[in-house]
Amino acid sequence: MSRKIFVNLPVENLEASLGFFRQLGFDFNPQFSNSTAGCMVVSDDIFVMLLKEARFQTFTPKTLCNSHTHTEMLLCLSCDSHKEVNEMVARAVAAGGTTYNDPQDHGFMYAHGFQDLDGHIWELVYIENIL
């Protein structure tokens, strides 16, 4: 069975987050988007639900962490080239994101990443001969 993955992320300002990710080239599925949520399409099987913090909080009794000061997780996306990794990081920074580390070149794998407007970490990797 093929599964789809829905990553749910709390965001402070939904409209700003939608604009940020649109500047990175992502589209949104209007069927699963409304005034409290935006469904970002990463691929045919991967979606990121950007949820206003109050909406996100309805899914869990736990307190939300401050993702600007704490790491909750790393979201890692593959890219088709070393150049695409750098271009996407540059677009993220131009759209208001920040880098959180230096690029990492391991020969067979190149990685660099950014923090989005809410401090969520997005790692971008190019891996030669990926699966």
pLDDT of residue 2: 81
Note the pLDDT tens digit of each residue in 77-130: 999 999 999 999 999 999 999 999 999 999 999 999 999 999 999 999 999 886
DSSP output for 17-72: HHHHHHHTT-EE-GGG-BTTEEEEESSSSEEEEEEEHHHHHTT-SSPPP-TTTS--
Kindly indicate the confidence band of residue 131, based on its pLDDT and cuts at 50, 70 and 90: low
Structurally, the chain folds into a number of domains equal to 2
pLDDT of residue 104: 97
Note the pLDDT tens digit of each residue in 6-63: 999 999 999 999 999 999 999 999 999 999 999 999 999 999 999 999 999 999 999 9
Please say which residue of 17, 32, 59 terminates a domain: 59
Note if the pTM is more than 0.85: yes
Residue 72 has pLDDT above 90, yes or no: no
Note whether 104 and 126 are same-domain residues: yes
| Host H or E run for residue 93 | helix 82-94
Distance CA 40, CA 18 (A): 8
Please say which residue of 13, 33, 59 terminates a domain: 59
The CATH number of the domain holding residue 106 is 3.10.180.10
Residues comprising the chain, all counted = 131
